[in-house]
């Protein structure tokens, strides 16, 4: 225990240059994501494929439905904060004298590494083919796009991102033939997720997720060079933005037209909350990114009070500082079986919650150790 305490103290050192409220928001949704995956691995009934299926799973009662619904905050927060991280990293590297070429090459290398991780480590964890295009893949493609697109003015990136997010539901890809493999797969990757033509599967198309990343880029650009007091003065405005976004979600959902790729078939609560995630509708993103703003505002409060390294908050921040390591590790930790192996038994809700909690403790210790290793070998582990 004493040794672990030393590791935690070392991992917390040198964090004054980080925006710890970003780590908090990221770490919090990673814990929620871990819950979603462990329940998908071991519970007999689990929601999913929202949007690809126009109707909700009738086997889910309210508790199980909400257990899946809370995970909707995860992917949008990851992608948004990826945009934030790109902006902060690019500006930091340019500020220390790196050339534009070197910065672009660094982003491209990281993007291709994420694509490799998706194919070789993530897809097998879900028993999916290596051509599966998931959230890690779309972030990787987003990085490659931003290696060039970042040269645009920030206002232009924000405008394009908003146009994509608000108008992608009208995108028509019928000019790309879907009768051949390359056309089908291209449409899946661009905007039409689905599982109809194995092994060419996709759940996270580039559009509109690249728009979400662009919104994060705008926020990250604002954060760079902004003094701490000004940033922390945004706690209430950021919380108000999150609350407004969630209020707009209810308005859009009530209108039951624009912004709803899956219509609301009744006034039942579960129908209200059954949203299109694949691809993400405007209603889905209003709800999810509203939550992201609230998480960041809470993270600002925790950081401002100096609570970032205390107890559970400290563990959350640790997860947020090691997102890729956490992601790749948690999948194989929680599935506990080789690729392709059938599920030997199922867990009920309480058993799954217990497994999730124990797994988080193990992941926390692993992430603390990984931070220590990364400080010893920063060049070798710079992309992870």
Q: Is 13 left (phi over 0), alpha (psi -120 to 50) or beta?
A: beta
Provide, rounded to the nearest whole percent, the portion of the chain with pLDDT above 90: 83
* pLDDT of the residue at 11: 41
Question: At residue 9, does pLDDT exceed 80?
Answer: no
Backbone angles phi, psi at 190, to 5 degrees: -75, -50
Place of tokens 């019928």: 174
Between 8-17, 39-48, 254-263, 297-306, the lowest mean confidence (pLDDT) is in: 8-17
Q: Going by C-beta distance under 8 Å and a sequence separation of 6 or more, which residues neighbour residue 230?
A: none
Core vs surface per residue 194-214: b (16+ CB within 10 A) or e: bbeeeebbbbbbbbbbbbbbb
The whole-number average pLDDT for the span 163-182 is: 95
- The pLDDT of residue 2 is 39
- Measured CA to CA, the distance from residue 378 to residue 357 in angstroms comes to 30
The per-residue pLDDT for range 39-50, each reduced to its tens digit, is 999 999 999 999
Over residues 208-218, the pLDDT tens digits come to 999 999 999 99
Average pLDDT over residues 246-257: 97
The whole-number average pLDDT for the span 128-136 is: 97
Q: How far apart are CA 98 and CA 312, in angstroms?
A: 37
pLDDT mean over 108-126? 97
User: Do residues 131 and 119 touch, judged by C-beta distance below 8 A?
Assistant: yes
| Stretch 72-80: mean pLDDT | 97
Write down the domain spans for the chain.
2-376
CA-derived radius of gyration, the chain: 20
CA distances from 152 to 165, 204, 214, 260 (A): 18, 24, 11, 31
Q: Say whether 133 sits in a helix, a strand or coil.
A: strand
Mean pLDDT, the chain, integer: 93
Q: What is the pLDDT at residue 220?
A: 96
pLDDT tens, position by position, 344-367:
999 999 999 999 999 999 999 999
Rounded distance, CA 243 to CA 107, Å? Answer: 33
Pick 115 or 379 by higher pLDDT. Answer: 115
Q: What percent of the chain has pLDDT over 70?
A: 95
CA neighbours within 13 Å on the CB side: how many for 6? Answer: 3
Average pLDDT over residues 298-322: 90
Tokens for 181, please give them: 């493999």
Cα 269 to chain center, whole Å? 25
Nearest to 125 by CA among 334, 339, 336, 355: 339
Confidence at 17, pLDDT banded by 50, 70, 90? low
Residue 155, sorted as left (phi over 0), alpha (psi -120 to 50) or beta, turns out to be alpha
Q: How far is CA 32 from the centre of its chain?
A: 11
Residue-level pLDDT at 142? 98
Residue 275 predicted with pLDDT over 90: yes
pLDDT for 84 equals 97
The tens digit of pLDDT for each residue in 30-72 reads 999 999 999 999 999 999 999 999 999 999 999 999 999 999 9
Q: Which residues is 202 bridged to in the sheet?
A: 133, 194
What is the 8-class DSSP label of residue 264? -
């Amino acid at each position: 225990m004493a040794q672990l305490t030393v590791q935690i103290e070392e991992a917390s050192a040198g964090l004054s240059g980080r925006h710890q409220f970003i780590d908090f928001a990221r770490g919090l949704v990673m814990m929620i994501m871990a819950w979603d995956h462990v329940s998908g691995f071991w519970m007999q009934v689990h929601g999913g494929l929202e949007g690809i299926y126009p109707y909700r799973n009738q086997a889910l009662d309210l508790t199980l439905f909400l257990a899946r619904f809370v995970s909707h905050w995860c992917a949008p927060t990851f992608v948004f904060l990826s945009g934030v991280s790109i902006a902060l990293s690019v500006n930091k590297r340019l500020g220390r004298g790196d050339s534009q070429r070197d910065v672009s090459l660094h982003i491209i290398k990281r993007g291709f590494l994420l694509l490799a991780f998706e194919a070789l480590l993530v897809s097998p964890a879900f028993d999916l083919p290596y051509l599966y295009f998931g959230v890690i893949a779309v972030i990787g493609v987003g990085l490659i796009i931003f290696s060039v697109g970042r040269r645009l003015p920030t206002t232009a990136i924000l405008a394009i991102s908003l146009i994509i997010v608000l108008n992608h539901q009208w995108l028509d890809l019928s000019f790309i033939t879907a009768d051949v493999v390359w056309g089908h797969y291209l449409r899946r990757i661009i905007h039409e997720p689905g599982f109809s033509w194995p092994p060419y599967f996709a759940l996270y198309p580039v559009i509109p997720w690249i728009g979400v990343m662009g919104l994060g880029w705008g926020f990250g650009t604002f954060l760079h060079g902004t003094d701490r007091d000004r940033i922390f003065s945004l706690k209430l405005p950021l919380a108000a933005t999150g609350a407004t976004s969630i209020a707009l979600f209810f308005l859009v959902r009530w209108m039951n037209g624009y912004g709803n790729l899956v219509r609301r078939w009744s006034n039942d609560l579960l129908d209200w909350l059954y949203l299109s995630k694949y691809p993400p509708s405007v209603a889905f993103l209003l709800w999810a990114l509203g939550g992201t703003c609230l998480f960041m505002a809470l993270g600002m409060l925790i950081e401002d009070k100096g609570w970032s390294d205390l107890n559970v908050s400290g563990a959350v921040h640790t997860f947020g500082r090691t997102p890729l390591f956490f992601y790749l590790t948690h999948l194989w930790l929680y599935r506990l079986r080789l690729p392709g192996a059938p599920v030997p038994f199922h867990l009920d809700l309480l058993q799954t919650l217990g497994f999730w909690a124990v797994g988080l403790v193990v992941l926390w210790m692993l992430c603390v150790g990984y931070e220590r290793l990364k400080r010893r070998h920063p060049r070798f582990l710079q992309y992870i």
